[in-house]
Amino acid sequence: MAEQSHPHAPRYAHEAVEARHDEPLQAGFFRLERRHYRHRRFDGSWSERVVREVHVRHDAVGVLLYDPGRDNVVLVEQIRAGALDDPCSPWKLEPVAGLVDPGETTAEVARREAQEEAGCEIDELIELHTYYPSPGACTERVTLYCGLIDSQGLGGVHGLAEEHEDILVHVMAFAEAWALLERGTIDNAMALIGMHWLVRERPSLRARR
């Protein structure tokens, strides 16, 4: 058992997992594995063998672009394969985002993706959170930033042709973006987390300009 400094921190760490075997099932743009393991139970005993399928992904970075001088939010719109069955639309409004390549820092990814997806230079990066979007089924960890920018002149269609990207840039007032969130039009985790952070921090960000 790992020693924990806070009474509500996780009770166990890696040593409380044993007999782990990862069985590859599929390898493509992402990987799928079947994982076999036992783990320590909260009563101190060991579990029976657990078998779970896990989606193995690169870690990712998201950047909510915000212009504090104009009080504008910049989001990008693109079709999403995981939302093809969405009852409204498979095109989603999101922060710019991308996967972390080997040797890259998350800050480097944030600046690269802002340029590739929105044609935007970031003046200042503020790290918000690192989180697992779906730890029961996916290995991906997301690092989320707010990028302070000048939104003048932004817009149009961007993306890398070799990655089949077709990305439309939206520049909108914060109030408009918040209204879209409240109506459920903005419905992805990166945007929701970023916007709820921004609604709290927006006055102080604007006061700095």
Query: Which residues are designated catalytic?
Result: 163
The gap between the terminal CA atoms of the chain, to the nearest Å, is: 49
**Is residue 156 left, alpha or beta, with left meaning phi > 0 and alpha meaning psi from -120 to 50?**
left
Give the list of residues 6+ apart from residue 126 with CB closer than 8 angstroms, or none. 145, 146, 147, 148
Distance CA 30, CA 27 (A): 6
Neighbouring-strand partners of residue 34: 23, 53
**Is residue 107 left, alpha or beta, with left meaning phi > 0 and alpha meaning psi from -120 to 50?**
alpha
Give the list of residues 6+ apart from residue 186 with CB closer than 8 angstroms, or none. 75, 93, 177, 180, 192, 195
